[in-house]
Amino acid sequence: MRFCFTLHKRLTMEKYWNVLSIQDKIKFILSILAGILVVIFATLNWKEAEINFIFKIIKVKLSVAIMISVLAGYLVSFLFSYRKQLKNNEEIESLTKKIEKLERKIEKQSDDVFAEAE
């Protein structure tokens, strides 16, 4: 039973891999390598470090502190890019409405021209 499940899962992963583009395969491989590097980094930097907040000093593992800093930076950049994306979506929606309005106007004018021609 377990062999069948493993074989089925393997075939599914093979299909998934075959569907991926070259760019997606490269991203997948690079993300695995990045994960391996993070694990190596964490094991090599397992010393404690003092972090001085304004009101309190805490001791935390160095690798944990660095990873939290990276995640905080990622979160900040995500929030800024999300805000920009929302602004772009609003502009796209506004321009789409203008295009639809102009298309209706053109259609009405072309109907009027054809009506006059008849």
Q: What is the pLDDT of residue 1?
A: 46
Residue 23 predicted with pLDDT over 50:
yes
CA 24 to CA 15: how far, in whole Å? Answer: 14
Residues 104-113: pLDDT tens digits? 998 888 877 7
CA 45 to CA 62: how far, in whole Å? Answer: 6
Residue type, 37: L
Tokens found for residue 81: 């890019």
Residue 5 predicted with pLDDT over 60:
no
Backbone angles phi and psi of 53, in degrees to 5: -80, 165
Give the residue from 85, 80, 86, 49 showing the smallest Cα distance to 66. Answer: 49
Tokens found for residue 73: 């930076």
Average pLDDT for 35-50? 82
Q: What is the pLDDT of residue 117?
A: 66
Residues 83-92: pLDDT tens digits? 888 888 899 9
Average pLDDT, the chain: 81
Cβ contacts of residue 51 below 8 Å, gap of 6+?
A: 57, 58, 59, 60, 65
Average pLDDT for 66-82? 83
E strands of 1-118, at which residues?
Answer: 48-52, 57-61
Task: Give residue for tokens 């995500």.
Answer: 78
Tell me the pLDDT band of 9, cut-offs 50, 70 and 90: low
Residue type, 67: M
More confident: 102 or 45: 102
- Beta 57-61 vs 48-52: how paired, if at all? antiparallel
